[in-house]
Amino acid sequence: MTKKMSTHQAEEDRRNDEILIYLNGEIVPKAEAKVSVYDSGFMLGDGVWEGLRLYNGTWAFMDEHLDRLFEAAKAIDLDIGLDREGVENALLETQKANGMTTDAHARLMVTRGVKTRPFQHPSLSQQGPTMTIIMEHSRPNLPRPIKLATVPHIRGLPMSQDPKLNSHSKLNCIIACIAAEKAGADEALMLDVNGFVNTTNACNFFIVRKGEVWTSTGDYCMNGITRQKVIDLCRENGIPVHERNYSLVDTYGADEAFLTGTFGAQTPVGEIDGRQIGSGQMGPMTERIRSLYKNLIEKECA
């Protein structure tokens, strides 16, 4: 048995014991950052969130994150209670309070707020939204490539829980992750409704075949910001890239596979369903894309 690992693993940092949290306009110590048991986020998973990363004093791709947050809030008919500038200021205020300058990760969450009664109807949330920001010192640290296991669970469909929503409720993804762990893997590889390879439970998924980069059509997965940056970088640098349907046969036979997400940028995959992918180590295309992405971050966060 290999050691348990998650794609969101970071170096131990004792400073995170003492961080300050943004909670509805206040900056409070971690131990005091508490929300009501009547909060719709706690009770029902009724909220949306964004994960952002700080490099060299700049929150990378802020516009894209704010676009996605406000789009998701509109889709679930949630009034965030702040405009874009207000959300950005909350983030900067939390950063300042924590004295963070680089290598930090923020989870910015907005729920429909505290309910008057413990039931589902959204009209029971009458006190306005609850907004919190958890900002941690964060340097991703994975001792080996990720192992995936294919699971029967799928992400929501556009007419149920749209996979493009960064919703608080992640139960289907959590069940998927548990199934993958029980199969001895780190994270779940999830297919789409037609059986094509789609996404993992927490990241977007890519394979490399004969010098080409493939990822799913995008119809059934999170519209990942890192995913789009990787596609754009491939296009700009003459690397053939395809958003297409492909199967597990194509995937097991790939030369390389990697995940994308704000937290870990590009994470190599070494094994899927007990099949070694390529050399089992990070391949040359993954390394090239990581280096192109690092350059992009250096430009974006100069």
**Nearest-approach distance from CB 129 to ligand PLP, in angstroms:** 19
* Look-up of token digits 């548990």: 178
**Nearest-approach distance from CB 263 to ligand PLP, in angstroms:** 7
CA distance 164 to 112: 19
Relative to beta strand 275-276, strand 265-272 is antiparallel
Contact status: 129 vs ligand PLP (CB under 6 A): no
Stretch that binds ligand PLP, among 37-45, 100-108, 224-232, 272-280 (CB under 6 A): 224-232
Chain center to CA of 261: 5
Contact status: 268 vs ligand PLP (CB under 6 A): no
Interface residue with ligand PLP among 54, 110, 134, 225 (CB under 6 A) is 225
HSE (side-chain half, CA atoms, 13 Å) at 230: 31
**Nearest-approach distance from CB 44 to ligand PLP, in angstroms:** 18
Report the run of H or E that residue 267 belongs to, with start and end. Answer: strand 265-272
Contact status: 260 vs ligand PLP (CB under 6 A): yes
CA distance 38 to 45: 12
Report the run of H or E that residue 276 belongs to, with start and end. Answer: strand 275-276
Contact status: 145 vs ligand PLP (CB under 6 A): no
Contact status: 226 vs ligand PLP (CB under 6 A): yes
Relative to beta strand 20-23, strand 26-29 is antiparallel
Interface residue with ligand PLP among 199, 266, 267, 286 (CB under 6 A) is 199
Q: Which of 176, 171, 182 is nearest to 200 (CA)?
A: 176
Interface residue with ligand PLP among 39, 146, 227, 231 (CB under 6 A) is 227
**Nearest-approach distance from CB 126 to ligand PLP, in angstroms:** 29
| b/e sequence 241-256, b meaning 16+ C-beta within 10 Å | beeebbebeebbebbb
**Nearest-approach distance from CB 279 to ligand PLP, in angstroms:** 25
Interface residue with ligand PLP among 166, 215, 251, 286 (CB under 6 A) is 166
Cβ–Cβ under 8 Å, residues 114 and 39: yes
**Nearest-approach distance from CB 84 to ligand PLP, in angstroms:** 17
Contact status: 151 vs ligand PLP (CB under 6 A): no
Q: Which stretches of the chain bind ligand PLP, using CB under 6 A?
A: 51, 166, 199, 202-204, 222, 224-227, 260-262
